[in-house]
Copies of this chain bind each other. A is one copy, B any other.
Protein backbone atom coordinates (compact mmCIF):
# COMPACT_ATOMS: atom_id res chain seq x y z
CA UNK A 1 0.00 0.00 0.00
CA UNK A 2 1.43 3.39 -0.96
CA UNK A 3 1.48 5.82 1.95
CA UNK A 4 -1.61 8.02 1.86
CA UNK A 5 -1.54 10.80 4.45
CA UNK A 6 -5.29 11.32 4.03
CA UNK A 7 -6.28 7.85 5.24
CA UNK A 8 -3.42 6.69 7.44
CA UNK A 9 -4.01 5.85 11.09
CA UNK A 10 -1.49 8.28 12.43
CA UNK A 11 -0.10 7.37 15.85
CA UNK A 12 3.48 8.53 15.95
CA UNK A 13 4.85 10.31 19.01
CA UNK A 14 4.30 13.71 17.43
CA UNK A 15 3.35 15.54 15.32
CA UNK A 16 -0.01 14.00 16.07
CA UNK A 17 -3.13 13.90 13.96
CA UNK A 18 -4.58 17.34 13.29
CA UNK A 19 -8.33 17.94 13.37
CA UNK A 20 -9.71 19.06 9.97
CA UNK A 21 -11.02 22.23 11.61
CA UNK A 22 -7.43 23.08 12.54
CA UNK A 23 -6.16 22.24 9.05
CA UNK A 24 -8.84 24.41 7.47
CA UNK A 25 -7.94 27.30 9.76
CA UNK A 26 -4.61 27.60 7.96
CA UNK A 27 -6.23 28.20 4.60
CA UNK A 28 -7.18 31.78 5.44
CA UNK A 29 -5.61 34.23 2.97
CA UNK A 30 -2.68 36.39 3.98
CA UNK A 31 -3.06 38.74 6.90
CA UNK A 32 -1.16 41.85 7.85
CA UNK A 33 0.51 40.71 11.03
CA UNK A 34 0.85 44.35 12.08
CA UNK A 35 -2.86 45.05 11.64
CA UNK A 36 -5.85 45.02 13.98
CA UNK A 37 -7.32 41.83 12.58
CA UNK A 38 -4.24 39.77 13.39
CA UNK A 39 -3.79 41.52 16.73
CA UNK A 40 -7.31 40.35 17.53
CA UNK A 41 -6.35 36.78 16.72
CA UNK A 42 -3.30 37.03 18.98
CA UNK A 43 -5.49 38.41 21.74
CA UNK A 44 -7.87 35.45 21.40
CA UNK A 45 -4.89 33.09 21.57
CA UNK A 46 -3.63 34.80 24.71
CA UNK A 47 -7.04 34.49 26.31
CA UNK A 48 -7.15 30.79 25.40
CA UNK A 49 -3.60 29.86 26.45
CA UNK A 50 -4.43 29.33 30.15
CA UNK A 51 -6.64 26.46 28.92
CA UNK A 52 -3.52 24.77 27.54
CA UNK A 53 -1.38 25.18 30.63
CA UNK A 54 -4.10 24.88 33.23
CA UNK A 55 -2.57 27.94 34.80
CA UNK A 56 -2.52 31.66 34.35
CA UNK A 57 0.77 33.43 33.93
CA UNK A 58 2.97 34.99 31.32
CA UNK A 59 3.01 33.01 28.11
CA UNK A 60 5.08 33.48 25.00
CA UNK A 61 4.46 32.11 21.50
CA UNK A 62 7.56 31.49 19.40
CA UNK A 63 7.57 30.77 15.66
CA UNK A 64 9.86 27.80 15.93
CA UNK A 65 9.83 24.20 17.14
CA UNK A 66 10.01 22.97 20.72
CA UNK A 67 13.79 23.08 20.46
CA UNK A 68 13.47 26.81 19.79
CA UNK A 69 11.40 27.08 22.96
CA UNK A 70 14.09 25.30 24.94
CA UNK A 71 16.87 27.47 23.58
CA UNK A 72 14.79 30.58 24.26
CA UNK A 73 14.29 29.46 27.85
CA UNK A 74 17.77 28.23 28.68
CA UNK A 75 19.52 31.11 26.93
CA UNK A 76 17.49 33.65 28.90
CA UNK A 77 17.28 31.92 32.27
CA UNK A 78 20.31 29.75 32.92
CA UNK A 79 22.72 31.42 35.31
CA UNK A 80 25.87 32.66 33.63
CA UNK A 81 27.92 31.93 36.74
CA UNK A 82 25.91 29.81 39.20
CA UNK A 83 25.39 26.07 38.93
CA UNK A 84 22.83 24.40 36.65
CA UNK A 85 21.52 20.92 37.40
CA UNK A 86 20.42 18.81 34.43
CA UNK A 87 18.61 15.50 34.86
CA UNK A 88 18.35 13.15 31.92
CA UNK A 89 17.26 9.66 30.95
CA UNK A 90 16.54 9.78 27.23
CA UNK A 91 17.17 11.45 23.91
CA UNK A 92 15.43 14.69 24.79
CA UNK A 93 17.30 14.84 28.07
CA UNK A 94 20.46 14.72 25.98
CA UNK A 95 19.18 17.67 23.96
CA UNK A 96 18.44 19.68 27.09
CA UNK A 97 21.92 18.86 28.31
CA UNK A 98 23.46 20.00 25.05
CA UNK A 99 21.62 23.33 25.02
CA UNK A 100 22.22 23.93 28.72
CA UNK A 101 25.96 23.54 28.25
CA UNK A 102 25.90 26.30 25.66
CA UNK A 103 24.42 28.80 28.09
CA UNK A 104 25.76 27.76 31.47
CA UNK A 105 29.42 27.17 32.21
CA UNK A 106 28.76 25.19 35.38
CA UNK A 107 26.47 22.27 34.61
CA UNK A 108 26.04 19.23 36.83
CA UNK A 109 24.40 16.34 35.07
CA UNK A 110 22.70 13.41 36.73
CA UNK A 111 21.52 10.65 34.50
CA UNK A 112 19.76 7.34 34.49
CA UNK A 113 19.88 4.76 31.69
CA UNK A 114 17.34 5.44 28.98
CA UNK A 115 13.94 4.32 30.23
CA UNK A 116 14.85 4.15 33.94
CA UNK A 117 13.69 6.60 36.59
CA UNK A 118 15.77 9.71 37.24
CA UNK A 119 18.12 9.59 40.26
CA UNK A 120 15.92 11.93 42.29
CA UNK A 121 17.66 11.24 45.58
CA UNK A 122 20.96 12.31 44.08
CA UNK A 123 19.26 15.37 42.66
CA UNK A 124 17.86 16.27 46.07
CA UNK A 125 21.32 15.89 47.57
CA UNK A 126 22.75 18.28 44.98
CA UNK A 127 19.96 20.76 45.63
CA UNK A 128 20.59 20.59 49.37
CA UNK A 129 24.06 22.00 48.79
CA UNK A 130 22.34 25.32 48.15
CA UNK A 131 24.32 26.55 45.13
CA UNK A 132 22.13 25.26 42.30
CA UNK A 133 20.53 28.19 40.48
CA UNK A 134 18.52 26.34 37.85
CA UNK A 135 17.20 22.82 37.32
CA UNK A 136 16.46 21.52 33.80
CA UNK A 137 14.45 18.39 33.24
CA UNK A 138 12.32 16.78 30.54
CA UNK A 139 8.92 16.04 32.00
CA UNK A 140 7.74 13.51 29.45
CA UNK A 141 10.61 11.69 27.74
CA UNK A 142 9.02 10.81 24.40
CA UNK A 143 12.05 8.88 23.19
CA UNK A 144 11.54 6.12 25.75
CA UNK A 145 7.85 6.53 26.63
CA UNK A 146 8.50 7.62 30.19
CA UNK A 147 7.05 10.38 32.37
CA UNK A 148 9.51 11.73 34.91
CA UNK A 149 8.22 12.21 38.43
CA UNK A 150 8.93 15.90 38.69
CA UNK A 151 6.22 16.25 41.34
CA UNK A 152 8.48 14.43 43.80
CA UNK A 153 11.38 16.69 42.97
CA UNK A 154 9.39 19.92 43.16
CA UNK A 155 9.57 20.57 46.94
CA UNK A 156 13.37 20.23 46.91
CA UNK A 157 13.72 22.59 43.96
CA UNK A 158 11.43 25.06 45.64
CA UNK A 159 13.38 24.87 48.92
CA UNK A 160 16.65 25.42 47.07
CA UNK A 161 15.46 28.62 45.43
CA UNK A 162 16.61 27.37 41.99
CA UNK A 163 14.59 28.12 38.89
CA UNK A 164 12.66 25.04 37.78
CA UNK A 165 12.83 24.88 33.96
CA UNK A 166 10.82 22.10 32.40
CA UNK A 167 10.76 20.68 28.89
CA UNK A 168 7.02 20.08 28.76
CA UNK A 169 6.92 19.71 24.97
CA UNK A 170 5.12 16.37 24.98
CA UNK A 171 3.70 16.73 28.50
CA UNK A 172 1.47 19.79 28.23
CA UNK A 173 -2.13 18.74 27.45
CA UNK A 174 -0.95 15.13 27.61
CA UNK A 175 -0.21 14.42 31.27
CA UNK A 176 -0.91 16.54 34.35
CA UNK A 177 1.56 19.44 34.60
CA UNK A 178 0.76 21.23 37.83
CA UNK A 179 2.56 24.46 37.19
CA UNK A 180 1.46 26.34 40.28
CA UNK A 181 1.43 23.43 42.74
CA UNK A 182 4.89 22.31 41.71
CA UNK A 183 6.29 25.81 41.38
CA UNK A 184 7.47 25.46 37.79
CA UNK A 185 9.21 28.58 36.52
CA UNK A 186 9.28 27.77 32.82
CA UNK A 187 7.33 25.14 30.93
CA UNK A 188 8.01 24.75 27.23
CA UNK A 189 5.13 23.32 25.19
CA UNK A 190 5.14 22.26 21.56
CA UNK A 191 2.20 22.85 19.25
CA UNK A 192 2.26 19.37 17.72
CA UNK A 193 1.77 17.13 20.78
CA UNK A 194 -1.11 17.16 23.27
CA UNK A 195 -2.53 20.30 21.71
CA UNK A 196 -2.75 18.60 18.30
CA UNK A 197 -1.84 21.68 16.26
CA UNK A 198 0.71 21.54 13.44
CA UNK A 199 4.41 21.48 14.23
CA UNK A 200 6.19 24.81 14.18
CA UNK A 201 5.28 26.76 17.31
CA UNK A 202 6.67 26.64 20.83
CA UNK A 203 4.69 28.12 23.69
CA UNK A 204 6.53 28.97 26.88
CA UNK A 205 4.82 29.51 30.22
CA UNK A 206 6.82 31.66 32.64
CA UNK A 207 6.38 32.32 36.34
CA UNK A 208 6.59 35.89 37.57
CA UNK A 209 9.89 34.94 39.15
CA UNK A 210 11.19 33.75 35.79
CA UNK A 211 10.03 36.91 34.07
CA UNK A 212 11.96 38.95 36.64
CA UNK A 213 15.07 36.82 36.04
CA UNK A 214 15.13 37.05 32.23
CA UNK A 215 18.39 38.16 30.69
CA UNK A 216 19.02 38.68 26.97
CA UNK A 217 18.93 35.35 25.16
CA UNK A 218 19.33 34.86 21.44
CA UNK A 219 17.99 37.62 19.21
CA UNK A 220 15.21 35.80 17.37
CA UNK A 221 14.06 33.89 20.44
CA UNK A 222 14.52 36.61 23.04
CA UNK A 223 11.81 35.95 25.63
CA UNK A 224 11.78 39.48 27.01
CA UNK A 225 11.22 40.95 23.54
CA UNK A 226 8.42 38.48 22.88
CA UNK A 227 6.75 39.20 26.21
CA UNK A 228 6.86 42.92 25.59
CA UNK A 229 5.35 42.62 22.11
CA UNK A 230 2.73 40.12 23.19
CA UNK A 231 1.35 42.56 25.71
CA UNK A 232 0.29 44.57 22.66
CA UNK A 233 -0.96 41.41 20.91
CA UNK A 234 2.05 41.72 18.65
CA UNK A 235 5.22 39.77 17.91
CA UNK A 236 8.73 41.23 17.68
CA UNK A 237 9.41 39.54 14.33
CA UNK A 238 7.16 38.26 11.57
CA UNK A 239 5.11 35.40 13.02
CA UNK A 240 4.30 32.17 11.19
CA UNK A 241 0.76 33.41 10.50
CA UNK A 242 -0.87 30.12 9.37
CA UNK A 243 0.45 28.37 12.47
CA UNK A 244 -1.05 31.07 14.69
CA UNK A 245 -4.41 30.53 12.96
CA UNK A 246 -4.10 26.79 13.57
CA UNK A 247 -3.06 27.39 17.17
CA UNK A 248 -6.20 29.42 17.79
CA UNK A 249 -8.46 26.69 16.42
CA UNK A 250 -6.62 23.94 18.29
CA UNK A 251 -7.01 25.93 21.51
CA UNK A 252 -10.73 26.37 20.82
CA UNK A 253 -11.03 22.60 20.35
CA UNK A 254 -9.13 22.00 23.58
CA UNK A 255 -11.40 24.44 25.40
CA UNK A 256 -14.46 22.67 24.00
CA UNK A 257 -13.19 19.34 25.27
CA UNK A 258 -11.69 20.74 28.46
CA UNK A 259 -8.11 20.15 29.56
CA UNK A 260 -9.15 17.70 32.29
CA UNK A 261 -11.19 15.67 29.83
CA UNK A 262 -8.34 15.56 27.36
CA UNK A 263 -5.94 14.37 30.05
CA UNK A 264 -8.50 11.79 31.20
CA UNK A 265 -9.06 10.50 27.65
CA UNK A 266 -5.31 10.35 27.04
CA UNK A 267 -4.82 8.46 30.29
CA UNK A 268 -7.60 6.02 29.45
CA UNK A 269 -6.16 5.38 25.99
CA UNK A 270 -2.75 4.81 27.59
CA UNK A 271 -4.16 2.32 30.11
CA UNK A 272 -5.90 0.48 27.29
CA UNK A 273 -2.70 0.47 25.23
CA UNK A 274 -0.65 -0.94 28.08
CA UNK A 275 -3.28 -3.58 28.81
CA UNK A 276 -3.38 -4.54 25.14
CA UNK A 277 0.42 -4.73 25.02
CA UNK A 278 0.34 -7.05 28.00
CA UNK A 279 -2.43 -9.15 26.46
CA UNK A 280 -0.27 -9.61 23.37
CA UNK A 281 2.61 -10.86 25.50
CA UNK A 282 4.73 -7.83 24.65
CA UNK A 283 6.81 -5.82 27.10
CA UNK A 284 7.03 -2.11 27.70
CA UNK A 285 10.45 -0.56 27.21
CA UNK A 286 10.50 1.84 30.18
CA UNK A 287 10.07 1.05 33.83
CA UNK A 288 6.30 0.38 33.87
CA UNK A 289 5.85 2.49 37.01
CA UNK A 290 6.78 5.53 34.97
CA UNK A 291 5.18 4.62 31.65
CA UNK A 292 4.04 7.76 29.84
CA UNK A 293 0.37 8.35 29.11
CA UNK A 294 1.11 10.14 25.84
CA UNK A 295 3.29 7.55 24.16
CA UNK A 296 3.78 3.85 24.84
CA UNK A 297 7.22 2.45 24.04
CA UNK A 298 7.17 -1.30 23.44
CA UNK A 299 10.03 -3.73 22.99
CA UNK A 300 10.06 -5.46 19.64
CA UNK A 301 9.49 -9.21 20.06
CA UNK A 302 12.70 -11.20 19.74
CA UNK A 303 13.67 -11.67 16.14
CA UNK A 304 11.33 -9.02 14.80
CA UNK A 305 12.87 -5.73 13.76
CA UNK A 306 11.35 -2.71 12.08
CA UNK A 307 11.00 -4.53 8.78
CA UNK A 308 9.02 -7.41 10.27
CA UNK A 309 6.76 -5.36 12.50
CA UNK A 310 6.46 -1.60 12.17
CA UNK A 311 6.93 -1.47 8.41
CA UNK A 312 4.30 -4.21 7.93
CA UNK A 313 1.82 -2.19 9.98
CA UNK A 314 2.52 0.75 7.73
CA UNK A 315 2.55 -0.96 4.35
CA UNK A 316 -0.13 -3.56 4.89
CA UNK A 317 -2.53 -1.91 7.30
CA UNK A 318 -1.91 1.81 6.80
CA UNK A 319 -1.09 2.19 10.50
CA UNK A 320 1.78 4.53 11.27
CA UNK A 321 3.53 4.06 14.59
CA UNK A 322 7.02 5.20 15.42
CA UNK A 323 10.33 3.40 15.79
CA UNK A 324 13.06 3.94 18.33
CA UNK A 325 15.71 6.66 18.23
CA UNK A 326 19.47 6.26 18.34
CA UNK A 327 20.53 2.99 19.98
CA UNK A 328 16.88 1.94 20.22
CA UNK A 329 16.37 1.86 16.45
CA UNK A 330 14.83 -1.49 15.54
CA UNK A 331 14.61 -2.44 19.22
CA UNK A 332 11.37 -0.70 20.19
CA UNK A 333 8.30 0.80 18.60
CA UNK A 334 6.20 3.62 19.98
CA UNK A 335 2.48 4.27 19.82
CA UNK A 336 1.45 7.87 20.39
CA UNK A 337 -2.02 8.30 21.88
CA UNK A 338 -2.17 11.97 22.78
CA UNK A 339 -3.97 14.94 21.26
CA UNK A 340 -7.10 13.90 19.42
CA UNK A 341 -6.17 10.20 19.18
CA UNK A 342 -9.19 8.05 19.97
CA UNK A 343 -10.49 4.51 20.30
CA UNK A 344 -10.75 3.66 16.59
CA UNK A 345 -7.03 4.40 16.31
CA UNK A 346 -6.18 1.88 19.04
CA UNK A 347 -8.56 -0.75 17.64
CA UNK A 348 -7.06 -0.82 14.15
CA UNK A 349 -3.52 -0.61 15.53
CA UNK A 350 -3.93 -3.60 17.80
CA UNK A 351 -5.99 -5.49 15.24
CA UNK A 352 -3.06 -5.09 12.87
CA UNK A 353 -0.57 -6.08 15.59
CA UNK A 354 -2.67 -9.17 16.41
CA UNK A 355 -2.67 -10.13 12.75
CA UNK A 356 1.05 -9.62 12.21
CA UNK A 357 2.06 -11.37 15.42
CA UNK A 358 -0.59 -14.05 14.87
CA UNK A 359 0.85 -14.90 11.46
CA UNK A 360 4.21 -15.26 13.20
CA UNK A 361 2.63 -17.64 15.71
CA UNK A 362 3.27 -15.29 18.60
CA UNK A 363 -0.23 -14.56 19.93
CA UNK A 364 -1.14 -16.63 22.96
CA UNK A 365 -4.78 -15.60 23.29
CA UNK A 366 -6.24 -14.33 20.04
CA UNK A 367 -8.46 -11.29 20.49
CA UNK A 368 -7.22 -10.61 24.00
CA UNK A 369 -5.63 -7.28 23.12
CA UNK A 370 -8.82 -6.00 21.51
CA UNK A 371 -10.88 -7.17 24.45
CA UNK A 372 -8.47 -5.36 26.77
CA UNK A 373 -9.16 -2.17 24.84
CA UNK A 374 -12.93 -2.60 24.76
CA UNK A 375 -12.95 -3.20 28.51
CA UNK A 376 -11.29 0.15 29.09
CA UNK A 377 -13.52 2.22 26.85
CA UNK A 378 -15.67 4.70 28.76
Residues on A facing B (Cβ under 8 Å): 3, 5-6, 8, 10, 12, 14-18, 23-24, 26-37, 63-68, 71, 75, 98-99, 102, 190, 192, 198-201, 218-221, 237-243, 246, 320, 322
Contacts and interface: CB of A to CB of B under 8 A. Distances in A.
A64 B64 contact: yes
Given A71-B220, A102-B219, A219-B102, A65 B30 contact: no
A30 B6 contact: no
Given A15-B33, A16-B30, A66-B238, 5 more contacts: A26-B26, A63-B200, A67-B238, A71-B218, A198-B240
A89 to B, nearest CB: 20
A71 B216 CA distance: 14
Max chain B CB contacts within 10 Å: which of A12, A17, A63, A71?
A: A63
Nearest to A239: B199
A201 B239 CA distance: 10
A23 B24 CA distance: 9
A238 B198 CA distance: 11
A107 to B, nearest CB: 14
Nearest to A323: B34
Contact of A32 (B12, B24, B67): B12
A198 B65 contact: no
Contacts of A320: 32, 35
A10 B29 contact: yes
Give the 8 A-B CB pairs with smallest separation, nearest first: A200-B240, A67-B237, A65-B238, A23-B27, A68-B220, A26-B26, A15-B30, A65-B237
Contacts of A12: 32
A10 B30 contact: yes
Contacts of A17: 29-30
27 contacts: A3-B37, A5-B28, A5-B29, A5-B37, A6-B28, A6-B29, A8-B29, A15-B30, A23-B26, A23-B27, A23-B28, A24-B27, A32-B322, A33-B199, A34-B322, A63-B63, A63-B68, A65-B239, A67-B219, A71-B219, A75-B218, A198-B240, A198-B241, A199-B242, A200-B238, A200-B243, A218-B218
A68 to B, nearest CB: 5
Contacts of A37: 3, 5
Given A242-B242, A243-B240, A65 B220 contact: yes
A333 to B, nearest CB: 13
B30 A238 contact: no
Given A37-B5, A238-B65, A15 B27 contact: no
Nearest to A65: B238
